[in-house]
Amino acid sequence: MIWQLILAITIGIICGIITGLTPGIHINLVSVLIVSLSSIFLEYTSALFLATIIISMGVTHTFLDSIPSIFLGAPDSDTVMAVLPGHKLLFQGLGWDAVRLTVIGSLLCLLLCVAVIPALVLVFPILYSLIKNYIGYLLILMVGFIILKDSKKIWAIIIFVLSGTLGLIVLNSEISQPLFPMLSGMFGISALIISLFNKVEVPTQVDEEYVQVSIGEYIKSLIGGVFSGSFVALFPGIGAAQAAAMSTVLFKVKEYGYLILVGGINTVNFIIALVTVYTLDKARNGAIVAVMEILANMDMARLVTFAAVALIAGGIATILTLKIAKLFAFMIEEIDYKIISFLIMLFIIGLAFYLSGSTGLLVLLISTAIGIVPQITGACRSNAMGCLLLPVIVFYLL
């Protein structure tokens, strides 16, 4: 039994490295593949073995996906909010340090999250029963709060409406994998285009701890990561990016602490999805949906097992992420960043066409145009997350 779990964790970590480092290949895609082949796999192994692979892959992914976001500007839906501060440090020669901060957030928030799971098991059913009929209104309040805190309020509203309208159209269409072209354009290609026009050159990277964060900033970031990651797990359609936007305002997290916050929320959001399955019987992300299709039910023994699996995978992923980030820091010095940016854009365009066809390319083009607006107006980019928030609000109010 123990050796089977160790093997499953190892396989999951390897898969998590691949999904974390490859833009566009999300854990949900791999999880669906595992489920589709589960009838074959279950002839040779157990459902717990397959579920452990998915859990360890998901945790590892949340550690490593900061690397392509920071070094390449190619985010997924969980790391879009880390691109801007991460790039700022990259262009100061501190890309590795930026990754280090997200890893610190992921590891420490993982530890705190697992520690508070017993309390969440008791609290979640009570909280959900209180808010389930008001989710749409609570989301409106959250959006309004974020917009009011923006120094460019008019542009913030325009960006939210534009991105939200696009989200309503795309998510209610029959486009395959709609999130990839929409989010890649909004937060990936738009940033790469701006960097090309600004004639950006990536300076020599250092792999030492230059960025210093105060104890107070650490505490705010970690508490914000666990609180927000846990709170938004109660809201369907709300992910790490939206939680980051909310936490920045609520906890007044500054720039470097923001990277700790994003890394923490990303990991907490995945772990808490296990708690929502156990307490509310509701899966909040695709990977956990896949786990439940294999297991059929979640009991306390499995929840404890998966928490232990997450801790082991997170510890190993911490070391691997820092090592791999050093390789990225070295490689990016040897290659023209413009060439990297151009190749990444071509890769995203090609993958968008492969996943979503010609319609996906149209979505990619429109979302890129919207994604450029906050960068040239100075409005907060988190307003572009209206592409996910507005559809959820409409769903609950109509």
Q: How far apart are CA 1 and CA 377, in angstroms?
A: 57
Let me know the angle formed at the C-alpha of 200 by 99 and 79, rounded to the nearest 5 degrees.
30
CB neighbourhood size of 376 (10 A):
10
Mean pLDDT of the chain: 82
Contact of 364 with 137, CB cutoff 8 Å: no
**3-state SS, residue 1:** coil
Q: Which two tokens stand for residue 95?
A: 């890309």
pLDDT at 78 over 80: no
Give the residue-averaged pLDDT of 97-118. 92
CA-based nearest residue to 121, from 347, 275, 290: 275
For residue 117, which amino acid is it?
I
pLDDT at 72 over 90: no
Q: Name 392's Cβ contacts closer than 8 Å, sequence gap at least 6.
A: 136, 139, 235, 236, 237, 238
Q: How far apart are CA 48 and CA 358, in angstroms?
A: 39
pLDDT at 200 over 50: yes
Q: How far apart are CA 244 and CA 142, in angstroms?
A: 12
Q: How high is the pLDDT of residue 9?
A: 94
Q: How far apart are CA 49 and CA 6, in angstroms?
A: 9
Give the residue-averaged pLDDT of 241-267. 76
Q: How high is the pLDDT of residue 376?
A: 86
Q: Which two tokens stand for residue 236?
A: 């369907």
Q: How far apart are CA 367 and CA 111, in angstroms?
A: 36
Say what percent of the chain tops pLDDT 70: 88
- DSSP-derived secondary structure letter, 42: T
Tens-digit pLDDT profile for residues 342-386: 887 888 888 888 878 888 899 999 999 998 898 888 887 778 878
pTM above 0.85, yes or no: no
Tens-digit pLDDT profile for residues 128-137: 888 878 888 8
Q: How high is the pLDDT of residue 369?
A: 92
Give the residue-averaged pLDDT of 298-303. 89
Buried b (16+ CB within 10 A) or exposed e, 326-335: eebbeebeee
Q: How high is the pLDDT of residue 77?
A: 47
Q: How far apart are CA 245 and CA 259, in angstroms?
A: 12
What band does 307 get if pLDDT is binned at 50, 70 and 90?
A: very high
Buried b (16+ CB within 10 A) or exposed e, 273-308: bbbbbbbbebbbbbbbbbbbbbbeebeeebbebbbe
Tens-digit pLDDT profile for residues 15-41: 999 888 876 566 766 776 787 777 788
Question: What backbone phi and psi angles, to 5 degrees, belong to 195?
Answer: -65, -35
Q: How far apart are CA 195 and CA 193, in angstroms?
A: 5
Q: How far apart are CA 176 and CA 20, in angstroms?
A: 21
Q: How far apart are CA 349 and CA 362, in angstroms?
A: 10
